[in-house]
Amino acid sequence: MPTFDANRLQTFATELLATCATAEEAQRVAAGLVNANLRGYESHGVMRLPYYIQAVTDGEVVSGADLTISKESPTHLVTDANWGFGQVQAGRMLDRLIEKTRTAGMAIGTMIHAGHIGRLGEYCEAAADQNFVSIVMVNSHGAAVRVAPPGGKAPRLSTNPLAIGVPQEGRPLMLDFSTSATAEGKVRVKKIAGEQ
């Protein structure tokens, strides 16, 4: 497997994304993708670039979308990502939730209509950097039905990933996993490599 300098790879990814995204989106998404590669999550790294660019081309992801707040209290947010880039919209929501947590001691948020938000551990790491515990969960909007429920024979569920981050001295405790036997992205990596 070839090795690339992370800074050069991020510059390349940013420039490529800038062909179909705003500068903010291109920078944030590229940083998330390269960070995933550096953390060993190839399934959520730069191999996703063609998928993201195609999603914008096909109108499945909307560049420049606002994060709409549907409902809000001092401790919660209900948001609509308006099919914007998932990493950008999830990052915006996390920033708002961190502000609320500083004031109220805790916060919870939900988001609908988002593109793929990338590696969940990215958000838990950001929360841990601010000394907050976090739990991030994702399901699909029905398009990625790949998992049979316990005792089932046919797929009915998404891979429903889950991440937990706990700050501690040194490095935070991080759990980031799919609740299926195999993460969907790992299957993509194998397919791209021409492997079984």
The pLDDT-based confidence of 194 (bands split at 50, 70, 90) is confident
pLDDT at 187: 80
d(CA 175, CA 75): 24
Q: Which three-class secondary structure state does DSSP give residue 173? A: strand
CATH class entry, domain 6-192: alpha beta
Q: Provide the pLDDT for residue 155.
A: 85
Task: Identify the weakest region by mean pLDDT among 43-52, 85-94, 180-189.
Answer: 180-189
User: Residues 56-72: pLDDT tens digits?
Assistant: 999 999 999 999 999 99
Per-residue confidence at 1, pLDDT binned at 50, 70, 90?
Answer: low
Query: pTM for this one?
Result: 0.89
pLDDT value at position 7? Answer: 95
Q: Report CA-CA distances (Å) from 52 to 78, 101, 170.
A: 25, 31, 34
Q: How far is CA 75 from CA 71, 78, 89, 92, 108, in A?
A: 11, 11, 19, 16, 6
- Compare 157 and 93 and report the one with higher pLDDT: 93
pLDDT for residue 36: 95
pLDDT of residue 156: 84
Cβ neighbourhood burial of 123 (10 Å; 0-12, 13-18, 19+): buried
pLDDT surpasses 90 at 172: yes
- Any idea where the domains of the chain sit in the sequence? 6-192
